[in-house]
Chains A and B, each alone.
Chain A
């Protein structure tokens, strides 16, 4: 890939503060009330998201299925690095979108699972039972349609998993840790 010569010239200099011309300002800023336009655009977007939300339960079920598949693969591989990375990435993806899809407690549970995987010094000693509990909790929330911020069972479940995970990681960091 060949960059234009003038860009290479810029890169060749030792140290610089560069003032780009502001092409986006020239290209797309128009006279008008910025706040009024922003409010209208945001309202349009929220309405569009609301219309899209008819798909969210199916998407969430799909994501929960992928999480379970990744968990099964990771366990079958004895939490070998590549399979564990895949499980982390699926859980992390779900953490990023579960709230948007209407399941904020699934977001919290996936955050706890990511933390468990990320902070475990020796992945081969990951407690399979605790991994299962996270994955199965997400699947249960989806199956039960436990949406929103005010589901007491989902709230208790997410908090319990977070506490158990924190306790486990604390033990691992202060002692040789419990057996997997």
Chain B
């Protein structure tokens, strides 16, 4: 695996708590990042994504106006947002399974529980960059493949082949291979 040039990356950090934004910004700057934009609620988070076209969004869940789950859903709407493939790292004090599943089903790329540590944040960013997942679009979901690994012993119906499914190679929405 190669090393990450953080000075090439642009982040948006959405969190309603100014102290937490400062902590995350401090960590990112220490990693080498130079372009970090902040938002204090879901609405300004979406505006920042549209305005700054970040490479990665880090967002809290609990925020005013609309929360991080709703923000993720809005971004993962190809008809409404210009950056539906944006890597999204949810950074939340919620650690219960139902919240992790809600984030996953909204289309989050990674989930990181607070308290945040330098190591955990670095590893999530590293994973987002070095191990990007395919995207899946069904009638009810658009987002990163929720299957993290291939189960060689899986014996059920393969729902992703046949039945009108298609593979799309989508380099910035230029080449589309049906």
Tell me the A residues contacting B by CB distance below 8 Å. Answer: 1, 3-4, 6-11, 13-25, 27-38, 41-42, 44-49, 52, 59, 62-63, 89, 92-93, 95-101, 107
What chain A residues lie within 8 Å of B84 (beta carbons)? 7
Complex contact A3–B81 (CB within 8 A): yes
A49 interface neighbour in B2, B27, B92, B139, Cβ under 8 Å: B27
In the complex formed, the residue of B with least CB distance to A15 is B165
Q: Is B102 an interface residue (CB 8 A)?
A: no
List, in ascending order, chain B residues with CB within 8 A of A59's CB: 19
User: Quick check: is B167 within 8 A (CB to CB) of the other chain?
Assistant: yes
| Residues A96 and B3 in contact, CB atoms below 8 Å apart | no
A38-B126, A45-B31 known; A17 and B135 CB under 8 Å?
A: yes
Cβ of B146 within 8 Å of any chain A Cβ, yes or no, is no
If A3-B81, A21-B170, A97-B93 are given as contacts, then 15 extra A-B residue pairs at C-beta distance below 8 Å, sorted by A number, are A3-B78, A10-B170, A13-B166, A24-B9, A24-B55, A25-B132, A27-B9, A30-B4, A36-B3, A37-B4, A44-B30, A99-B114, A99-B115, A101-B19, A107-B115
The 14 sampled A-B contact pairs (Cβ below 8 Å) are A9-B176, A10-B168, A10-B170, A11-B137, A14-B139, A17-B135, A19-B168, A23-B172, A38-B123, A41-B31, A52-B26, A97-B114, A100-B116, A107-B115
Q: Does B173 interact with chain A (Cβ within 8 Å)? A: yes
Residues of B contacting A48 in the complex (Cβ-Cβ under 8 angstroms): 26-27, 29-30
Residue from B32, B119, B122, B165 in contact with A17 in the complex, judged by beta carbons closer than 8 Å: B165
A35 neighbours in B (Cβ, 8 Å): 1
**Which residues in B have their C-beta under 8 angstroms from that of A17?**
134-136, 145, 160, 165-168
The docked-state distance in angstroms from the alpha carbon of A95 to that of B95 is: 11
Q: Residue B107 at the A interface, CB < 8 A?
A: no
A96 to B94, CA, bound (A): 8
Distance between A83 CB and nearest chain B CB, rounded to angstroms: 15
* Chain A binding surface, main DSSP class: helix
Complex interface: chain B residues within 8 A of A27 (CB): 5, 8-9, 55
Is the CB–CB distance between B176 and A6 below 8 Å? yes
Residues of chain B at the chain A interface (Cβ within 8 Å): 1-6, 8-9, 16-17, 19-20, 22-23, 26-27, 29-32, 50, 55-56, 60, 62, 78-82, 84-85, 87, 92-94, 114-116, 118-119, 121-123, 126, 128-130, 132, 134-139, 142, 145, 160, 163-174, 176
In the complex, which residue of chain B has the Cβ closest to the Cβ of A37?
Answer: B3
Give complex CA distance A139, B142 in Å: 44
Q: Which listed residue (B50, B122, B135, B169) contacts A38, Cβ 8 A?
A: B122
Partner of B5, one of A18, A29, A98: A29
Could you say which residues of chain B place their CB within 8 Å of the CB of A93? Answer: 16-17, 20, 62, 93
CB A8 to nearest CB in B, in angstroms, measures: 6
CB-based contact B119/A42 at 8 Å: yes
- 4 closest A-B pairs by CB: A21-B171, A96-B93, A37-B3, A45-B118
Instruction: List the B side residues contacting A15 at CB < 8 Å.
Output: 137-139, 163-166
Select one of A11, A24, A99 contacting B129, CB under 8 A. Answer: A24
Tell me, rounded to whole Å, the shortest Cβ–Cβ distance linking B64 to chain A: 8
